[in-house]
Structure 1
Amino acid sequence: MSDSFGVSLAIGILKTVVCLYDVITLPVYYFLDRPWIRRAVNRQVQAVKANPDDPYSSYVRRELPPPHYVLECNTINDVLRKVVETYTTRRCMAYREVFGEEEERQADGKVFQKLVLGDYVWFSYNEIDKRVDDIAKGLLAHGVKAGDIVMILAETRMEWFLTAHAVFRIGATIGTLYTTLGSDAIVHGLNQTQVSHLVTTFDFLPKLKQLVSKTPALKCIIYIEGHKKASTEGFTLELVPFSKLEEKGKNSPNVKFPVVQPDDHAVIMYTSGSTGVPKGVILTHKNVVATIKGFYAVAHFLKEKHVFMAYLPLAHVLELAAECFFLSIGIAIGYSSPHTMTDKSTAIKKGMKGDASILQPSVLAAVPLVMDRIRKAVTEEASSKGAFFRRFLEFAVEYKKFWTKKGFSTPIVNTIVCRKIQKLLGGKLEYIVTGSAPLSPETHDFIRSCLNATVIQGYGLTETAAGGTLMSFDDLSTGRVGPPLYGLRIKLCDWKEGNYFVTDKPYPRGEIVIGGDCVAAGYFKNETAESQEAFREEDGIRWFYTGDIGEIQHDGVVKIIDRKKDLVKLQFGEYISLGKVETELKSCKYVDNICIYGNSYQTYVVALVVPNVKAIEALAKELGKEGRSMAELCRDPQINQAVLKEIVEHGKRAKLHKTEIPTKVKLCVEEWSPDSGLVTAALKLRRRNIEDFYKKDINRMYGVVSGESEQSKST
């Protein structure tokens, strides 16, 4: 009790001192920061109706971009040619050398493999262009022709991006598959595209050896070498080391590459398959370039001094579009991976620097799940140092959040708090772009405050080449995804079943429909009624019906409020947006991941929770249950009750409706990873798989003893 009083007293004194400091220095900061300017910019209308008199009219972005060669480009090849002409000898891309692996024994006796890493090796724009040329000629020498599809099955790395541009250069198409897809999904992608050439990495060869007998069209595997000897025995098709391919191209005579057209297929991007087998989305050169132009209109002020750290899967449209954009405006790209990103990443040797510490990126892309984990890691680190540090961090975050939204800077907090946290990611981070799923307002505010970085949330889909919306860099709000990108259109359509209408007040609501050059050519070999319903030509514009529900606010900015497929109706007719509830509850301290389940024959929802190990262990210690395994703790009724209580309280703080807050919870000891099949390669929930896997637990929470019954089916 005395310790708690002492901490409260210390924090109280700190708040008093800070309050006096604010009163004394406010006139100075008011003069230096000129917050009225930022607030005025933040209030500006960002998108307007194309036809003000039509409530169903589409919205277009109000701001026009300054002139730039990107706006004159029509293909991805045009973009690369222009940027090489412009920046020639400037540094363009880099990878970090890997010299080998070493075993590192942990305090608990476990042994982990750690990488022995060197520095970053940089290539200029001219050097990158020459390598793309050599790889393109190497592919031609190995039988790839214009119009062919070359599949890429590899983690994000420089060779991935170079191969893509080489394929574009020869007028061919890349297919993309996540490395975390199951064997059946990989075989499906290879067979559906009937590819003869596959580019992969040395460490993926053992898995491919088991699959090639099921892919008769595949004739050649080009593998990127690494720090280990590749396992090439037992293959019955041609295996080509990437270095040999490039060398062959280097020694080949010059060739005249074909002129690529805007409507030529650039990418067949396989989705991560959250509802079944992956679908291949056909993206043309025009689609990708439209998104690049849209991004440029928002981020045209970024300078060549910036460095982008690339680590998300290039098989995901967000990363591919981001890298294409940053390349197009001369921003250097350094390649990394989640296993080597920070000094504490799993593959980094003790005492060795992570990629961020060496690269010192200023721009980063992150999915919301990564942002949630950063938030929890920072909070846990502060809590581990005692109650004072935890309370101090909470105060600092709230203090910075308050003044930031007023348009002021907070240099002292930036120096004392943010600079130390920023060092985890190299110390120079200025901008974080996030998409792929909704980001909770709490996490948005926390990351922005802790890292002193501008967090930009966007919205797009594979079917729109990541194009859709993007927040303005001056937008101080949270929970919104920005206005339509330049060159695109967004409109809403009524969804009667969900009771969302364009005529709703105060803001129009409905299904989000994206139109313009970013909309994909369709699904590869999948002309079903469903796909024809999703892609439509109306009034000379190609539209994609997203299935997401949004509202367009007074300034033309879009807010995602629901999703058709995530909606479940409970027994008394209440509609619950599962995705919305999950977004709010993911930031609960005991939750690492969560899936909300609703049964239409019941009056409440339940939660399947992957617990945060550190938080559960701390709770166990508090309840006198330390020393037990995580499986035992997950089954313990007292632990479950405590977690449920905290989830309920967290839901109330997040202003969830009573029917949206889970009544029962199941703590899941299993890992939810792409390998387990419970989440996609993009870390999105596979609801059906999760529901099937935990069917008995769901039935138990709903009081269904056994068997399949009508009352165990959800809508």
Structure 2
Amino acid sequence: MADSEGVEQIDVEGSLSTFMEDRSYGAVIAVLVAIAVPLVLSSMFMGKKKVKQRGVPVEVGGEPGFAMRNVRSKKLVDVPWEGATTMAALFEQSCKKHSQLRFLGTRKLIDRSFVSGSDGRKFEKLELGDYQWQTFGQVFERVCNFASGLIHLGHDPETRIAIFSDTRAEWLIAFEGCFRQNITVVTIYASLGDDALIHSLNETKVTTLICDAKLLKKVATVASSLETVKNVIYFESDNTEALSNIGDWKISSFSEVEKTGQNNPVNARLPIKKDVAVIMYTSGSTGLPKGVMMTHGNVVATAAAVMTVIPGIGPNDVYLAYLPLAHIFELAAETVMITAGSSIGYGSALTLTDTSNKIKKGTMGDASALKPTLMAAVPAILDRVRDGVVKKVEEKGGLTTKLFNAAYKRRLLAIDGSWLGAWGLEKLLWDAVVFKKIKSVLGGK
């Protein structure tokens, strides 16, 4: 999957060391109790295993094939609440409802250094501080300012803007700013090659490109092949090396566009449900990337549906954002957080854990610093977490391996429908004896 590009090998050994090396008498007793008690209780009360029903068939209007709907949903859901029919309306209403709550968080860069590998290559290491937060109200004000700034660059609903950048808070602010003026956004993976980038921008006739500062030089190399681009807006960073000019393009920093809009506010021109919100380009793994058009109604309905599947999401939740926002998976997840009034803390795949490739030794990874209650994951990340755990368990062997395998099987049964395993004594025992250390790799919550 394109989402998983650049994901590092996650090292869980340090987090598991206490569990693996514990050979005390008390630990042995706890193991025996953890295994014996739930098995006895399960045999007394569980009876036949109950299989969860997850979906029910629905009519598809006489068309061939069939469709399924989540069993919890009584009817088709298209909005989270009345009036939130577009991305712009949903964002504005949620920001006003949760105006004083923290919304977007970014870690402060304390130090950047480079170390040499055994092969002589240089590797970047980052020392990152605590998360610094903006409230829903503050973010909404920035969105409005950026939207007004776009108008002064000559934009209207007939023009398109592309975002070519890694995931960060400014990505979402720019995205929502476009919608305040009913401008369709083209999303492009930061990892795409030159041919795919040229194809995506020319096919959609993009007039303004928003990108990371580090991608400015890459954009400059293809400038002569871009047919409609007139403006480039770059996200500042601590090592920004902005290019003064690229051909005849106007080059502006993100903060400059915000400042222009703040000094010259423009009334919003909001979209309707059927307007195209996003043209989202694929990774291009089978030839040139393809652009998928999604309306405001499409994305809003996805968020509304997720809220019914996971109904407990709310302002107390904290979401760790690190997957590409250029993919619908991450974009939909962050839209759900906006809907729920939850906090979003930004990180990256290379700074995710305490032992991630770009984390300076002794510095906390994003998960440890944020302690998220929610995160999205792709198979590559979950596989690497699993591989790290299994490798350490197999190295220890003996009682450790038997304990872990028993715990894993029982907790898997719990997920499949054992009430005792999911919520009773068994869950508490397995979590305390085995899984607490594993959970700490991703912040513990």
Give the distance between the partners of 1:415 and 1:21, measured in 2 at CA. 10
Q: Partner residue of 1:94?
A: 105
Gaps of 5+ in 1: 1-6, 429-715
Residue identity opposite 2:438 in structure 1: I
Percent sequence identity is 32
Q: 105-114 or 282-291: which moved more? A: 105-114
C-alpha displacement of 1:230 = 1.4
CA contact (8 A) 1:104 1:349 kept: no
Q: How does 1:327-406 map to 2 (within 5 A)?
A: 327-385=338-396, 389-405=400-416, 406=418
- Counterpart of 1:64 in structure 2 is 73
Q: Which amino acid aligns with 1:64?
A: S
Letter in 2 for 1:46: G
- Do the aligned residues in 2 keep the contact of 1:326 with 1:333 (CA within 8 Å)? yes
1:279 and 2:290 equivalent?
A: yes
CA deviations on 1:435-488 (whole Å, 9 max, x unpaired) are xxxxxxxxxxxxxxxxxxxxxxxxxxxxxxxxxxxxxxxxxxxxxxxxxxxxxx
Q: What does residue 58 of structure 2 align with?
A: 49
Q: CA deviation at 1:99?
A: 3.8
The answer to whether residue 189 in structure 2 is matched with residue 175 in structure 1 is no
Residues 231 and 387 of structure 1: is their aligned pair in 2 closer, same or farther, counting only changes over 3 Å? farther
1:261 paired to 2:261: no
CA 105–243 in structure 1, closer or farther in 2 if over 3 Å, else same = same
Q: Which amino acid letter does the alignment assign opposite residue 238 of structure 1?
A: K
In the aligned structure 1, how far is the partner of 2:61 from the partner of 2:46?
32
Q: For residues 304-323 of structure 1, what are the structure 2 equivalents within 5 Å?
A: 304-323=315-334
TM-aligned CA deviation for residue 228 of structure 1 = 0.4
* Contact residue 75 and residue 286 of structure 1 kept, 8 A: yes
- Contact (CA 8 Å) 2:59, 2:66: kept in 1 or not? yes
Q: CA 1:166/1:354 → structure 2, altered by over 3 Å: closer, same or farther?
A: same
Cα distance, 1:382 vs. partner?
Answer: 3.2
Q: Distance in 1 between matches of 2:254 and 2:155?
A: 15
1:240 aligned residue: 252
Partner of 1:326: 337
TM-score norm. by structure 2 comes to 0.84
| Residue 426 in structure 1 maps to residue 443 in structure 2 | yes
TM-score by length of 1: 0.53
- Give the C-alpha shift of residue 211 in structure 1: 0.6
Q: Give the secondary-structure state (helix, strand or coil) at the position aligned to 2:439.
A: helix
Aligned residues of 1:65 and 1:300 also touching (Cα < 8 A): no
Q: Counterpart of 1:423 in structure 2: which amino acid?
A: S
Compare 59-68 and 256-265 and name the one that shifted more.
Answer: 59-68
- Quick one: distance in 1 between partners of 2:37 and 2:234? 64
Aligned length: 412
Give the counterpart of 1:74 among 69, 85, 89.
85
Asked if the contact 2:79/2:300 (under 8 Å) is kept, the reply is no
Q: Distance in 2 between matches of 1:346 and 1:21?
A: 36
Question: What secondary structure, in the 3-state scheme, does the structure 2 residue paired with 1:114 have?
Answer: strand
For residues 281 and 55 of structure 1, what CA distance do their matches in structure 2 show? Answer: 24
Residues 1:249 and 2:266 are matched in the alignment: no
Q: Counterparts of 1:247 and 1:52 in 2: how far apart (Å)? A: 51
Give the deviation of 1:58 after TM superposition.
Answer: 3.9
SS in 2 for 1:205: helix
- Aligned partners of 2:78 and 2:304 also within 8 Å: no
Among 226, 229, 246, the alignment partner of 1:218 is 229
- Give me the whole-angstrom Cα distance separating, in 1, the residues matched to 2:33 and 2:350: 45
For the structure 1 residues 108 and 179, does the alpha-carbon distance in structure 2 shift closer, same or farther, using more than 3 Å as the test? closer
Q: Quick check: 2:101–2:136 contact (8 Å CA) kept in 1?
A: yes
Quick one: distance in 2 between partners of 1:164 and 1:39?
47
* Deviation of the 1:97 alpha carbon: 1.8
Q: Deviations over 1:122-144 (max 9, x none)?
A: 11111111010011111111122
In 1, Cα distance between equivalents of 2:113 and 2:287: 39
| Partner residue in 2 for 1:125 | 136
Alignment-derived partner of residue 297 in structure 1: 308
Larger Rg belongs to: 1
User: CA offsets per residue over residues 257-284 of structure 1, 9 Å max, x none?
Assistant: 1131111111010111222111111111
- SS of 1:155 mapped into structure 2: coil
Q: CA deviation at 1:57?
A: 5.1
Distance in 1 separating the partners of 2:286 and 2:62: 39
SS at match of 1:48: strand
Task: Specify the SS of the correspondent of 1:70.
Answer: coil
Contact 1:48 1:62 in 2 (8 A): no
* Contact 1:89-1:124 within 8 A present in 2 as well: yes
| Deviation per residue, 1:414-439 (Å, 9 max, x gap) | 012211111111111xxxxxxxxxxx
Alignment of 1:241-640 (within 5 A): 241-252=253-264, 254-385=265-396, 389-405=400-416, 406-407=418-419, 408-409=421-422, 410-428=427-445
The equivalent residue for 1:528 is none
Runs of 5+ unmatched residues, structure 2? 1-19
Counterparts of 1:79 and 1:133, CA distance in 2: 14
Separation in 1, partners of 2:130, 2:31: 43
- SS of the residue aligned with 2:94? helix
Q: CA RMSD in A?
A: 3.1
Cα deviation 1:514-540 (Å, max 9, x = unaligned): xxxxxxxxxxxxxxxxxxxxxxxxxxx
Matches of 2:405 and 2:210, distance apart in 1: 48
One-letter amino acid of the structure 1 residue matched with residue 434 of structure 2: V
Q: Secondary structure of the equivalent of 2:350?
A: coil
**d(CA) in 2 for partners of 1:293, 1:27:** 42
- Say if 1:106 and 1:112, in contact at 8 Å, map to a contact too: yes
1:181–1:387: structure 2 CA closer, same or farther, 3 Å change rule? Answer: farther
Q: Which has the higher contact order (CA 8 A, sep 6+)?
A: 2
SS where residue 309 of structure 1 aligns? strand
Contact 1:69 1:82 in 2 (8 A): no
Contact 1:100 1:228 in 2 (8 A): no
| Equivalent residues of 2:102, 2:133 under 8 A apart | yes
